[in-house]
With several copies, the nearest count.
Chain A
Amino acid sequence: MSTSAGDAMRRIGNAITPHEPQSTDQIWEIVQLARHQDRPYPLDYIPRLLSDFEELRGDRLYRDDPAIVAGIGRYHDMPVVVIGQQKGRDTQERTYRNFGMSGPEGYRKAMRVMALAEKIGAPVITLIDTPGAFPGADAEQRGQGGAIATSIRTMLRLSVPTVAIVVGEGSSGGAIALGVADRVMMLQNSTYSVISPEGGSAILWRDAAKSQLAAAAFQPTAANCYRWGVVDSVIPEPDGGAHRDHDAAAELLDRYLLRALTELREIPGSERRRQRHVRFRRIGSYRELALADTSAVVSGQTKGPP
């Protein structure tokens, strides 16, 4: 639901000023922060948010994919399901977790755990942080496209409350696969984009070194995503970025998440699902020409929610 700037301005109480100036340098700084190696990952948030957590593994089909961590936990005395993309902090863990690039098995594990959430009526919380789904021949053979597509569909079908939070880098179909929630939020220094800056520059500029230029063009920042109606809230980070203080970052995230779940739990499941569908129907920006004369632009403004 891409909205005009004025529309976004009218939303009060969001921590990010919609018109924070965003120069190429500023955007690149955010891109760097979003990928900072000390930035909290799902496994950093989970012990801070949950009083108990039990990891669940495997898609029941082919293998366990460590690029996605999934499990059940106790959040403010509620059972919840948490699904997070885990990049890995050191070289060894990064290799093990494939840099947070999941194969189809990761999304299928996510769906299996969502089915458990649906059974027990537990909210689903996704923590998004991935450069994208893994580009590999074997992943394609086992249906990478279909896995992402069915994960999107599964999230649309859930009747339990769902909250998706981009905590780091949310790039490409690998991110939206876990992003189709009742409330979508971004951390202040996270990014959400159709592709990583490197991927975009390689394709559009035919030069992988143009990634700063690509980042500036994609404008993948929380402020913009909020302005475009892609996310509902921007979660502030501790001064200097979430990596400076994991505890404080988790506490801020906790506050927004708890508020969202508290609101969502008031809505009946079928209505919540309906609203979720409406929410994702509205997103986009296009022009609609006059019917009779297709050359005249009638409405230059982007389509969006009221």
Chain B
Amino acid sequence: MRRNFRVCTSCGHHFKVSGKERLDQLANFESWNELWPELRAADPLQFTDLEPYTKRVEKAEAKGLTEALVAGDLSVGRQPCVAAAMDFGFLGGSMGSVVGEKLLRACDRAAERRVPLIVISASGGARMQEGVLALMQMSKTVVGFEALHEAAVPVISVLAHPTTGGVWASFAALGDVTYAEPGALVSFSGPRVIEQTTREKLAPDFGLAETQLRNGQVDDVVDRRELNERLERVMRILSRESSPEPPLAMQWAQQGASRAQRAARAVPRMSRRIRERLRRGEGPQ
């Protein structure tokens, strides 16, 4: 299972993956360094619902999870990047102050290192136990994405099951490239809330990745087993030029002779002057 990226070999179902294992997958199970594991949830509201917030956090931490977002430096194939993955196992992947702060730092780090940022989301939304401070992580994470915008550093957003609420309504929707995993629910409001509010039965494919692709909300639905390849390609495409200006002129010169002859052969109708220019490898204009 682990080596098959937690995708069922028989039906292709995508099972949930923890944050750390996500980064293992991205790093192709090579080692990577976790960033900012020292950031931990506080309890600014001294919040208790059916259970105290601190208790919930302790339980989650006891499972060996640091928080609902794990960040690290790694390489996907040959492309170095900063990666962050949400962990649904930590309070439903909810976005509280730690998620916001870590993601902001990840953005700043990617901007500074000038490497792409990859974020894999899996979240029920804002962490209610942090009240309005959780809501404010929506704007905080978008500020992080804006830092990437200003630094011209690409960000790729990957939506795993489920990407909902304040996560989908903030950074997760703002990738330069956005992929969703097969069958992932991608929605701002939850299906139950929608059915209760509108008293309408939702279609079985409501909000699924495949539906959101048709709705123009994501670039593609990508099988997890092919994700690394796709991410690597996107990063390779968007990477800076290996050498800004020379290649063009060089290619021009190098290709001049052979290409020009092929082109000239292909275009007997073009004017003699042009044909001669092409033959001399001077280019058409």
Tell me the A residues contacting B by CB distance below 8 Å: 2, 12-17, 52-65, 72-74, 76-79, 105, 109, 116, 119-122, 133-137, 139-146, 148-150, 152-153, 156-157, 172-173, 175-177, 179-180, 192-195, 199-200, 203-206, 214, 217-220, 224-225, 228, 230, 233, 236-239, 245, 248, 251-252, 255-256, 258-259, 261-262, 265, 277, 280-281, 283-291, 294, 297, 300, 302-303
Contacts and interface: CB of A to CB of B under 8 A. Distances in A.
A149 B119 CA distance: 16
Contacts of B186: 145
A13 B145 contact: no
A263 to B, nearest CB: 9
- Count chain A CB atoms within 10 A of each CB in B42, B96, B174, B259 and give the residue with the most: B42
B262 A136 contact: no
Given A78-B248, A119-B154, 10 more contacts: A15-B267, A56-B177, A72-B177, A141-B215, A149-B173, A194-B134, A200-B128, A218-B131, A286-B42, A289-B40
B50 A204 contact: yes
Contact of A150 (B100, B130, B174): B174
Given A52-B236, A251-B259, A217 B48 contact: yes
B192 to A, nearest CB: 9
Contacts of B249: 262
Contact of B128 (A148, A203, A248, A302): A203
B189 A140 contact: yes
Interface stretch (B1-9, B14-22, B206-214): B206-214
Given A17-B271, A64-B214, A176-B136, A135 B198 contact: yes
Contacts, number: 342
Contact of B169 (A144, A206, A228): A144
B248 A238 contact: no
Contacts of A148: 138, 169-170, 173, 188
B45 interface: yes
B200 A137 contact: yes
Given A236-B267, A245-B266, A284 B216 contact: no
Interface stretch (B23-31, B70-78, B81-89, B239-247): B239-247
B: contact size bracket: 35 or more
Which 8 residue pairs across A and B have the least CB separation, nearest first? A58-B216, A135-B189, A284-B97, A248-B266, A285-B44, A145-B168, A204-B49, A148-B169
A58 B213 contact: yes
B98 A286 contact: yes
A149 B144 CA distance: 13
Nearest to A15: B270
Given A54-B233, A72-B234, A119-B176, A193 B170 contact: no
A283 B206 CA distance: 34
28 contacts: A2-B97, A15-B270, A52-B236, A121-B152, A136-B194, A136-B198, A146-B169, A172-B166, A173-B165, A175-B135, A192-B135, A193-B131, A194-B166, A239-B267, A239-B268, A251-B259, A258-B251, A280-B136, A280-B140, A281-B143, A283-B133, A283-B137, A283-B140, A284-B137, A285-B42, A286-B39, A287-B42, A289-B40
A61 B216 contact: yes
Contacts of A56: 177, 219
Contact of A152 (B139, B214, B236, B237): B139
A152 to B, nearest CB: 5
